[in-house]
A and B are shown apart, each in its own frame.
Chain A
Amino acid sequence: EVQLVESGGGLVKPGGSLRLSCAASGFTFTSAWMSWVRQAPGKGLEWVGRIKSKSNGGTTDYAAPVKGRFTVSRDDSKNTLYLQMSSLQSEDTAVYYCSAEYYGSLKYWGQGTLVTVSS
């Protein structure tokens, strides 16, 4: 059974940093392209960023609102995906989901972790 379990969310002050983790199991993580997607309270889905598999170069892509502030990384030895977030703003308040891609569609999703940016 595929499982994606996010952790690391919480309350952070504006300008602060936070690192989210996503522990994966039940599929070949090393081959997977992985994305982070967020959803602000009462709003729609927003793609945040993605990391390709190492065999595809392990490169990353980001949405404009987070580029330069967020970094997606992976540790294939631990089957874990990360999202390092810095210079956090109130607009970054959201539930953050990790997802495993299937040719770009988001096939598997975690339950999400809530990040609240507030003073």
Chain B
Amino acid sequence: DIVMTQSPDSLAVSLGERATINCQSSQSVLYSSNNKNSLAWYQQKPGQPPKLLIYWASTRESGVPDRFSGSGSGTDFTLTISSLQAEDVAVYSCQQYYSGPYTFGQGTKLEIK
């Protein structure tokens, strides 16, 4: 199975500042047939289901604010929130869908400093 490791486990950032969350996979998730990375990012607020933010590592889901961006390729990926808003407080998780079973990172808890 592909192991997904996120860092850090928790993060406190001031309002308006940049937040960066990293995700590393134990093997490449680059799908050679379409040259896309099979990596998604989710946001989960307390008491709510996860919400898809980013897929194919860098494609923003419809309706997601453009302060959220995804980057990286192969085994190393980053979710960046360019200017943190109060409503961004949540747990963020990465997921690989390159091969079964799909696997998630352990999650990163983002708080306001």
Chain B residues 57-113 with CB under 8 Å of chain A are 61, 91, 93, 95, 97-98, 100-107
Please judge, given known A-B contacts A44-B107, A45-B42, A106-B42, whether A35 and B49 are in contact too, CB under 8 Å. Answer: no
Chain A: minimal CB distance from B108 (Å): 10
Question: Does A109 lie within 8 Å of B40, measured CB to CB?
Answer: no
Q: Which residues of A contact B104 (CB under 8 A)?
A: 44-47
Count residues of chain B with CB under 8 A from any CB of chain A.
25
Contact pick for A109, options B51, B61, B97, B106, CB 8 Å: B51
Is A82 engaged at the interface, CB distance under 8 Å to the other chain? no
Q: Tell me which residues from 31 to 74 in chain A have a Cβ below 8 Å from any Cβ of chain B.
A: 35, 37, 44-47, 50, 61-64
Please tell me the number of chain A residues within 8 Å of chain B, measured between CB atoms: 23
Alpha-carbon gap, A106 to B38, bound state (A) = 12
A49 nearest in chain B by CB position: B101
